[in-house]
């Protein structure tokens, strides 16, 4: 029996779960209130608070890190890596997410907490299926500004799990299918999974608005908005990535609350939520062309996929492309545990050896932190 502990930090909670082989024994969401978050505006400010929450969970459940066979964390804002699967949480990864993160996102804290609770043990610590696997077609990275290369970012962990789940349901392997998989969460991301490889993607800042994100904004408006704003660069990034979308319109990221407004006859709530679904459909259409329409299935997953209203609006617009399957919710903890079990059964752990852009040593990263740190 293999004992596996998983850690997944989100914007307002830290989810932890303990597995024995593939069986989940315990799971909890360690929430952080809005008032507490206001005292910790930068992601790294939350590290000690969240770490103590996890340690209390372990104590309350009589779990001891030295007894684990492996600890698996959600990958945070690390630099692009060449493969999916497992990566060692090593000194370079810790330095990179601490002093030179690619973005301010709570997922970054997952590997830091994992490494902290493993201190004094010989338990391996890994991340699994990072968001930044660079398996995309070269043509998808070209932009209209030569100095900017659009690097792939996709919600791989849960969407790949959804693809595997769908494949099993029809007696096929995930790697035998062409799938467009949509992650409907606080941010909305889409990927074209070409036989197990994300060939192209739509990240949460280049597609539809979402519960927390602005989505793509025309540059003629965005440039004026940024230059006329009194926000700092960091404040603007945090606004676009956590305080816009449904939050900006209604003060909530909870789609259920917006649906209550619709049920009460609020026309603005209906058109804004429908606009979100409309944007998802447009992004699905955008991805459908990259293999000339050869799409076996469209899959809608994530927390917002529990909304039949939203998924029906999307399906109405895209079912002409391919059939649509809804797999609501997130199986991230199960995906992390499954990855950890595969590693314990012999799957390779990739060394993490990618330096953040502009750095060539760990010492340089620590001495010269980026503006995001």
Q: What is the DSSP string of 136-157?
A: S-GGGG--SSTT--------HH
The reply to whether 230 falls in a domain is yes
Task: Please check whether residues 67 and 148 belong to one and the same domain.
Answer: no
Question: Which residue range(s) make up the domain with 233?
Answer: 139-328
Task: Please check whether residues 122 and 189 belong to one and the same domain.
Answer: no
Q: Coil, strand or helix: which one is 194?
A: strand
- Tell me what pLDDT residue 37 has: 80
The reply to whether 115 falls in a domain is yes
Could you tell me the sign of the dihedral formed by the alpha carbons of 335, 75, 246, 33, in that order? positive
With 90 as the cut, is the pLDDT of residue 63 above it?
A: yes
Residue 163 to residue 326: CA distance in whole angstroms:
11
Q: 51 to each of 15, 56, 110, 115, 193, how far by Cα in Å?
A: 12, 9, 9, 10, 35
Residue 242 to residue 209: CA distance in whole angstroms:
11
Task: Please check whether residues 199 and 147 belong to one and the same domain.
Answer: yes
Task: Please check whether residues 203 and 300 belong to one and the same domain.
Answer: yes
Q: pLDDT band at 323, cuts 50/70/90? A: very high
Angle (nearest 5°) at CA 103 between 102 and 106: 120
- Whether 327 and 162 have beta carbons less than 8 Å apart is answered as yes
Average pLDDT over residues 284-307: 97
- Tell me what pLDDT residue 370 has: 86
pLDDT in tens, 233-243: 888 988 998 89
pLDDT in tens, 199-212: 999 999 999 999 99
Average pLDDT over residues 271-282: 98
Cα-to-chain-centroid distance, residue 132: 10
Count of domains in the chain? 2
Whichever domain contains 50, its CATH number is 3.30.420.40
Task: Please check whether residues 109 and 26 belong to one and the same domain.
Answer: yes
- Tell me what pLDDT residue 92 has: 96
pLDDT in tens, 130-187: 988 999 999 999 999 999 999 888 888 999 999 999 999 999 999 999 999 999 998 8
pLDDT in tens, 7-18: 999 877 899 999
- Whether 223 and 320 have beta carbons less than 8 Å apart is answered as no
Average pLDDT over residues 220-237: 93
- Tell me what pLDDT residue 279 has: 98
Least confident residue range of 32-36, 138-142, 204-208, 272-276? 32-36
Token pair in block for residue 58: 């372990």
The reply to whether 108 falls in a domain is yes
pLDDT in tens, 334-370: 999 999 999 999 999 999 999 998 999 999 999 999 8
Task: Please check whether residues 186 and 146 belong to one and the same domain.
Answer: yes
- Whether 163 and 154 have beta carbons less than 8 Å apart is answered as no
Q: What residues are paired with 15 via a beta bridge?
A: 8, 29
- Tell me what pLDDT residue 312 has: 98
Edge-to-edge strand ranges of the sheet holding 188-194: 197-202, 188-194, 178-184, 297-302, 324-328
With 80 as the cut, is the pLDDT of residue 332 above it?
A: yes
- Tell me what pLDDT residue 235 has: 87
Q: 294 to each of 74, 80, 297, how far by Cα in Å?
A: 31, 27, 9
The reply to whether 373 falls in a domain is no
pLDDT in tens, 71-87: 999 998 888 899 899 99
- Tell me what pLDDT residue 234 has: 80
Largest CA distance in the chain: 59
Dihedral in degrees, nearest 10, Cα atoms 293, 211, 141, 237 = 170
Task: Please check whether residues 24 and 56 belong to one and the same domain.
Answer: yes
pLDDT in tens, 82-140: 989 999 999 999 999 999 988 777 888 999 999 999 999 999 999 999 988 999 999 99
Task: Please check whether residues 279 and 356 belong to one and the same domain.
Answer: no
The reply to whether 372 falls in a domain is no
The reply to whether 195 falls in a domain is yes
Task: Please check whether residues 71 and 152 belong to one and the same domain.
Answer: no
Q: 175 to each of 77, 194, 195, 315, how far by Cα in Å?
A: 26, 8, 4, 24
Task: Please check whether residues 170 and 290 belong to one and the same domain.
Answer: yes
Residues making up the chain, counted from first to last: 373
Task: Please check whether residues 213 and 127 belong to one and the same domain.
Answer: no
The reply to whether 166 falls in a domain is yes
For 245-260, b/e burial (b = at least 16 CB within 10 A) is: bbbebbeebebeebbe
With 90 as the cut, is the pLDDT of residue 34 above it?
A: no
The reply to whether 177 falls in a domain is yes
- Tell me what pLDDT residue 101 has: 87
User: What are all long-range contacts of 238-244, with beta carbons under 8 Å and residues at least 24 apart?
Assistant: 238/41, 238/104, 239/214, 240/205, 240/213, 240/214, 241/103, 241/104, 241/105, 241/187, 241/204, 241/205, 241/212, 241/213, 242/11, 242/186, 242/212, 242/213, 243/212, 244/209, 244/212, 244/213, 244/214
Task: Please check whether residues 313 and 189 belong to one and the same domain.
Answer: yes
């Amino acid at each position: 029996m293999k004992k596996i502990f998983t850690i997944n930090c989100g914007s307002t909670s830290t989810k932890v779960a303990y597995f024995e082989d593939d069986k989940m024994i315990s799971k909890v969401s360690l929430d952080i209130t809005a008032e507490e978050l206001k005292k910790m505006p930068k992601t790294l400010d939350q590290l000690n608070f969240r770490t103590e929450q996890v340690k209390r969970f372990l104590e309350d459940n009589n779990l001891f890190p030295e007894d684990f066979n492996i600890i698996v964390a959600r990958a945070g804002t690390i630099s692009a890596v060449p493969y999916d699967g497992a990566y060692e949480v090593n000194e370079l990864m810790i330095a990179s997410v601490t002093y030179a993160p690619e973005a301010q996102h709570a997922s970054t804290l997952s590997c830091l907490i994992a490494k902290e609770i493993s201190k004094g043990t010989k338990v391996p610590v890994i991340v699994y299926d990072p968001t930044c696997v660079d398996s995309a077609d070269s043509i998808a990275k070209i932009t209209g500004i030569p100095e900017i290369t659009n690097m792939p970012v996709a919600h791989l962990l849960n969407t790949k799990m959804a693809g595997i789940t769908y494949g099993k349901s029809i007696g096929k392997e995930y790697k035998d299918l062409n799938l467009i998989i949509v992650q409907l969460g606080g941010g909305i991301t889409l990927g074209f999974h070409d036989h197990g490889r994300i060939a192209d993607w739509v990240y949460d800042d280049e597609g539809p608005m979402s519960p927390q994100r602005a989505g793509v904004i025309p540059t003629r408006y965005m440039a004026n908005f940024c230059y006329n704003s009194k926000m700092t660069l960091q404040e603007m990034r945090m606004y676009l990535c956590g305080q816009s979308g449904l939050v900006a319109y209604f003060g909530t990221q909870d789609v259920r609350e917006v649906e209550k407004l619709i049920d009460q006859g609020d026309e603005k709530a209906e058109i804004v939520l429908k606009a979100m679904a409309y944007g998802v459909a447009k992004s699905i259409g955008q991805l459908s062309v990259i293999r000339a329409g050869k799409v076996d299935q469209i899959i809608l997953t994530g927390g917002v996929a529990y909304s039949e209203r939203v998924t029906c609006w999307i399906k109405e617009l895209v079912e002409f492309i391919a059939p649509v399957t809804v797999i609501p919710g997130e199986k991230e903890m199960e995906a992390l545990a499954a990855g950890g079990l595969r590693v314990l059964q012999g799957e390779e752990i990739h060394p993490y050896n990618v330096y953040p852009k502009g750095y060539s040593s760990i010492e340089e990263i620590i001495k010269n932190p980026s503006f995001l740190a």
